[in-house]
């Protein structure tokens, strides 16, 4: 993944670039969580800012942010990720997507 200034369309394109099977899946929770996690690198972890940036429902964003806190993706008010690491970055990203969906337990 490349660090750069993100726009919502760029983030959606990046999700598809990271997993081509996400093409046409914009309405799925997996796609939306992937977008939210990448959006956190752009606008931070504040629910209002994520709502304004993505337009996703507040309750959905709140649930994702809570799961990110529980799994330590968000730790002490900061996003703590290894997505930019060469080799394992995209794997770490999709593991974090699973954790934010409530499908992977990273806290264990």
In a domain, 107, yes or no: no
In a domain, 105, yes or no: no
Count of domains for the chain: 1
Q: Which residues contact 54 (CB under 8 A, 6 or more apart)?
A: 8, 32, 35, 36, 39, 61
32/84 Cα distance (integer angstroms) = 20
99/17 Cα distance (integer angstroms) = 20
Residues 89/41, Cβ–Cβ less than 8 Å: no
Residuewise pLDDT in 10s, the chain (108 residues): 445 567 999 999 999 999 999 999 999 999 999 999 999 999 999 999 999 999 999 999 999 999 999 999 999 999 998 887 777 768 899 999 999 999 988 765
For residue 34, the enclosing domain spans: 8-100
In a domain, 85, yes or no: yes
In a domain, 77, yes or no: yes
In a domain, 28, yes or no: yes
Is the overall model pTM greater than 0.75, yes or no?
A: yes
Query: Does an H or E element contain 66, and which?
Result: helix 58-70
In a domain, 21, yes or no: yes
**pLDDT at residue 87, rounded to an integer:** 75
In a domain, 86, yes or no: yes
In a domain, 3, yes or no: no
């Amino acid at each position: 993944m490349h660090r750069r200034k993100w726009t919502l369309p760029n983030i959606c394109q990046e999700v598809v670039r990271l997993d081509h099977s996400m093409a046409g899946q914009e309405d799925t929770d997996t796609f939306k969580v992937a977008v939210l996690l990448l959006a956190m690198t752009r606008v931070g972890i504040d629910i209002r800012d994520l709502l304004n940036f993505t337009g996703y429902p507040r309750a959905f964003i709140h649930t994702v942010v809570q799961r990110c806190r529980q799994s330590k993706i968000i730790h002490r008010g900061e996003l703590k990720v290894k997505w930019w690491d060469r080799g394992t970055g995209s794997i770490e990203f999709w593991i974090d997507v699973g954790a934010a969906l409530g499908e992977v337990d990273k806290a264990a």
